[in-house]
Amino acid sequence: MSRNNNSITIYFDSVSIIFAFKSIIMHGLLPNIKIKALEGSFQIDPSTSPLGEKIIFHSVSMIAEIGFEKFTFKKLGTEIGSPEASIYRYFKSKNQLLSYLISWYWGWMEYRLVFETANIPSPETRLEKSITLITCHPAEPLMIEGIDIKKLYQIIISESIKSYLTKDVDKANKEGAYSNYKQFVARISNIIKEINPEYKYPQMLLTTIIEGAHLQVFFAEHLPRLTNKQVSPDYITRFYTHLAVNVIKNN
């Protein structure tokens, strides 16, 4: 963990997050926490320069508005008033940029997970809170490090799976592009093992819940006959909580 100008950067792969949260709360620095996307998802860390931050801010807005397929670095360059070549200094392709946004998102989600489950002794309650976190979309506008969380969530729902379904996925994985996602899944998998140490498929269950919940949000907006939105406002949360609890306890 590093501290600079009244802010704290948490490196999720190397520092105790519980200790970091105690330090953040103690120093009153919660609003200034910095999420770090891991190496492998960028050429130059965009959070280290004004141009990089501008690239990320406008990328999120453009991808959320026009979609990943229509998004290009040429269009981004025109939007930010910078040469296309300058963007390639930060990201070798738009797929790597998408990996960066997804990595950042899961770093943010792990931050929220630890904060929202801290000091809760019951693993069942922690699991329920974890599933609620996964399945509930941002209700209010929120900007973190210049990133519009609601727009980023739109990208996660519509575009995130495209980051994995590429021929370069193995290379990106070796470079650490998906580490934040894997760490998020591992953290909740450990909660499942607390509930039932004999349960053999915690990672499979968690990724099924995560990707399935994203699909249900997408279906509700675009293909409503493939989901059950009419059941209740929190239908996705209730469904996956019910599924997880029954599967884990009735192993």
Which of left, alpha, beta for 119 (phi over 0: left; psi -120 to 50: alpha)? left
CA 148/CA 145 separation, integer angstroms: 9
Q: Tens of pLDDT along 56-94? A: 999 999 999 999 999 999 999 999 999 999 999 999 999
Measuring CA to CA, how many Å separate 236 from each of 114, 131, 215, 231? 22, 10, 10, 10
Ordered structural domains, the chain, with CATH? 1-36 (no CATH), 39-249 (1.10.357.10)
- Quick: pLDDT tens for 191-241: 999 999 999 999 999 999 999 999 999 999 999 999 999 999 999 999 999
Mind listing the pLDDT tens digit for each residue in 130-159? 999 999 988 778 888 889 999 999 999 999
What mean pLDDT comes out for the span 5-22? 39
pLDDT at 185 over 80: yes
State residue 32's pLDDT score: 55
User: Is residue 6 pLDDT above 50, yes or no?
Assistant: no
Q: What confidence tier does 249 reach under pLDDT thresholds 50, 70, 90?
A: confident
What confidence tier does 112 reach under pLDDT thresholds 50, 70, 90? very high
Whether this prediction's pTM lies above 0.75 is answered by: yes
Q: Are 108 and 144 in contact (CB under 8 A)?
A: yes
